């Protein structure tokens, strides 16, 4: 691909830094001053999540460079009046500023400047870019006022299906994409992003109020509307034929329009196991080609199938409740951190002596969060281990190697992994063998206790991804990105962006080496969310048959005692009379 030269203009953003027509992965360097502060890194996280939301399925990499500008190409520069990266000419700063400038020859490309007189103004400029890019114009814009955004509510990410009301298909897809024509037409596709903590146990699944229009068949045949989600078949709805006999009631009471189409309405349930955090609903109108016999002209391709935009899916009846740690939920949707779309309940813990590789991994993860929610991470907090106690009420993203991140040693008892110098200790369980036992049933393997601890010394440390409950506060989560010098940083970054590797990340700890992922532990379970008392009792007793039996016996004894006392009272009253 070759880029045409153009004048710098904020109105063209996100071009030339991101082009929606380019299907390749976005790779955009971020340049920091020599010692970026916490608010500078928070500003960079906001910009990275904005670009990540734009990149979507492509994925996005943000190689961090400290006090050094790439030799050529586009880049994003973060600078204040006192902290400026070398090799970049920064204009005079009079407030929170966003600018686009050409690179000095012989380098080619453009620089996106995010500037402020101090770090607070720098963060304001980043927020303005994330939420107000569409109103920017010219080569430079100074933000004179940015009112604080209204607080986000849980589960209100723009990319996620709302769980407090029915959602129309017209909100999820363009109306033109809901209609197909012809015998060989493709399926109507509706993308669904749902929170992974929906509690759908022992239900029919998510109800869809499906309204559709079809071409009535001349005679009964195998035509049908086939419904599937991802690669799982859900249901087939027959497409009926025009009633031919005067003795059929439908002959007199039909809703066939002049164009030989008719409307229908059905309720369809998506099974819980098929409704994954990233799901695609496919509705395929299959029309059986009629047998017209020999010596007939060409068959007219005049059949149509249309899904009414007022069709809806309703998730409002399902509570939010989930067992953690669950790295699959984190890898696929950033949960539980993306529960708040702006990451206002998330704190990022970097090493005290963080380097460019730590910054790059942090920015990559912010880009992934933005791709999941569709919203910039305006509320994220960046801190170090020394200040972690101030953020006990937040979920934690921990970055760094065991030698540079003190939390990995301080919280070793809470994690399925610990390190002491070159020695590493792994907590192992039998999750990889998929065993089931009669007491816990099919869910027992998910939270089986650890079976062994393995300590080893290795010359080449693998990358680790581990989840556990925050030691600072119950019901708060922590996920640690544990890397070592060398290839492990690249392995971790590649795995998080590889659509083939990502589904392999599960459990409570994943060891990543190249494109190989090994699940070593499922951790100690903790739960987030709430269930009604009746639903919680049903769910808890379902996996403990002996407890259910004892509860039944106890209930029978209590009822028998009550009846006994009532009958004794009646008998005593009768004797007195």
Per-residue pLDDT tens digits for 123-152: 999 999 988 877 888 899 998 888 877 788
Residue 47 located in a structural domain:
yes
- What is d(CA 26, CA 509) in angstroms, rounded to the nearest whole number? 28
Residue 156 located in a structural domain:
no
On the CB side of 430, CA atoms within 13 Å amount to: 10
Per-residue pLDDT tens digits for 281-299: 999 999 988 776 665 555 6
The verdict on 444 and 572 lying in the same domain is no
Q: What angle do CA 194, 200, 202 make, to 5 degrees?
A: 160
The verdict on 220 and 305 lying in the same domain is yes
The verdict on 305 and 339 lying in the same domain is no
Is 452's pLDDT higher than 70?
no
The verdict on 309 and 330 lying in the same domain is no
Q: How confident is the model at residue 514 (pLDDT cuts 50, 70, 90)?
A: confident
The verdict on 310 and 330 lying in the same domain is no
Residue 369 located in a structural domain:
yes
The token duo for 98 is: 């966003």
The verdict on 255 and 310 lying in the same domain is yes
Length of the chain: 577
- What integer pLDDT is reported at residue 524 of this predicted model? 85
The verdict on 135 and 209 lying in the same domain is no
Residue 153 located in a structural domain:
no
The verdict on 176 and 40 lying in the same domain is no
Residue 135 located in a structural domain:
yes
C-alpha torsion sign, points 173, 179, 181, 184? positive
Residue 72 located in a structural domain:
yes
Domain count, the chain: 4
The verdict on 309 and 332 lying in the same domain is no
CATH value at residue 84: 3.30.379.10
Residue 58 located in a structural domain:
yes
C-alpha torsion sign, points 111, 116, 121, 123? positive
Residue 436 near residue 411, CB atoms below 8 Å? no
The token duo for 101 is: 């400038």
Q: Give me the DSSP letters along 295-333.
A: S--PPP---EEEE-TT-EEE-TTS-BEEEE--HHHHHHH
Q: How confident is the model at residue 461 (pLDDT cuts 50, 70, 90)?
A: low
Q: How confident is the model at residue 454 (pLDDT cuts 50, 70, 90)?
A: very low
The verdict on 122 and 175 lying in the same domain is no
Q: Residue 457 belongs to what domain range? A: 321-528
On the CB side of 446, CA atoms within 13 Å amount to: 15
DSSP code of residue 241 = B
The verdict on 523 and 555 lying in the same domain is no
Instruction: For residue 327, give every residue at least 6 positions away whose Cβ sits within 8 Å of its Cβ, in sequence order, or none.
Output: 465, 466, 467, 479, 505, 506, 507, 508, 509, 510
CATH value at residue 192: 2.60.120
The verdict on 306 and 389 lying in the same domain is no
Residue 149 located in a structural domain:
no
């Amino acid at each position: 691909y070759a880029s045409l030269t153009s004048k710098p203009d904020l109105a063209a953003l996100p071009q030339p830094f991101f082009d929606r027509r380019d299907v390749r992965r976005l790779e955009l360097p971020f340049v920091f001053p020599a010692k970026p502060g916490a608010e500078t890194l928070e500003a960079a996280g906001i910009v990275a999540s904005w670009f990540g939301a734009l990149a979507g399925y492509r994925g996005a990499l943000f190689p961090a460079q400290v006090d050094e500008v790439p030799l050529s190409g586009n880049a994003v520069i973060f600078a204040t009046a006192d902290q400026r990266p070398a090799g970049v000419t920064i204009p005079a700063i009079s407030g929170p500023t966003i600018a686009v400038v050409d690179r000095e020859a012989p380098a080619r490309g453009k620089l996106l400047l995010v500037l402020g007189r101090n770090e607070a103004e720098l963060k304001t400029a980043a927020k303005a870019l994330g939420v107000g890019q569409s109103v920017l114009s010219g080569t430079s814009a100074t933000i004179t006022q940015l009112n604080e955004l209204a607080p986000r509510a849980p589960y209100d990410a723009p990319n996620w299906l709302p769980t407090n009301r029915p959602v129309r298909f017209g909100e999820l897809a363009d109306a033109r994409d809901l209609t197909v024509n012809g015998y060989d037409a493709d399926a109507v596709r509706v993308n669904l992003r749902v929170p992974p903590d929906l509690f759908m146990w022992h239900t029919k699944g998510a109800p869809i109020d499906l309204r559709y229009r079809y071409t009535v068949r001349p005679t009964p045949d195998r035509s049908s509307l086939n419904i599937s989600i991802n690669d799982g078949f859900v249901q087939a709805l027959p497409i009926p034929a025009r009633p031919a006999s005067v003795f059929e009631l439908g002959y007199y009471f039909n809703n066939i329009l002049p164009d030989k189409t008719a409307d229908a309405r059905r309720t369809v349930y998506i099974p819980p196991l098929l409704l994954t955090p990233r799901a695609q609903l496919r509705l395929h109108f299959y029309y059986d080609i009629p047998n017209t016999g020999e010596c007939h002209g060409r068959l007219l391709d005049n059949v149509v199938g249309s899904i009414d935009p007022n069709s809806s899916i309703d998730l409002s009846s399902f509570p939010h409740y989930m067992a953690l740690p669950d790295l699959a939920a984190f890898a696929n949707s950033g949960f539980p951190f993306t529960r708040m779309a702006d990451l206002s309940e998330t704190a990022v813990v970097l090493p005290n002596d963080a380097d460019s590789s730590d910054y790059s991994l942090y920015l990559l993860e912010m880009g992934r969060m933005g791709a999941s929610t569709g919203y910039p991470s305006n509320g994220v907090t960046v801190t170090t281990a020394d200040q972690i106690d101030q953020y006990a009420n937040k979920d934690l993203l921990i970055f760094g190697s065991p030698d540079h991140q003190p939390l990995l040693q301080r919280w070793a008892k809470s994690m399925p992994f610990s390190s002491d110098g070159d020695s590493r200790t792994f907590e192992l369980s039998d999750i990889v063998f998929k065993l089931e036992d009669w007491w816990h049933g099919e869910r027992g393997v998910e939270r089986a206790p650890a079976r062994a601890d393995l300590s080893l010394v290795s010359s080449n440390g693998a990358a680790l991804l581990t989840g556990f409950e925050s030691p600072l506060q119950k019901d708060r989560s922590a996920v640690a990105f544990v890397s070592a010098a060398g290839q492990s940083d690249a392995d971790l970054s590649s795995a998080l962006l590889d659509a083939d590797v990502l589904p392999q990340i599960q459990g409570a700890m994943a060891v990543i080496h190249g494109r190989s992922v090994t699940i070593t532990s499922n951790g100690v379970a903790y739960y987030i969310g709430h269930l009604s008392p009746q639903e919680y009792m049903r769910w808890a007793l379902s996996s403990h048959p002996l407890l259910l039996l004892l509860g039944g016996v106890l209930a029978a004894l209590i009822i028998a005692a009550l009846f006994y006392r009532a009958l004794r009272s009646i008998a005593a009253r009768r004797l007195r009379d």
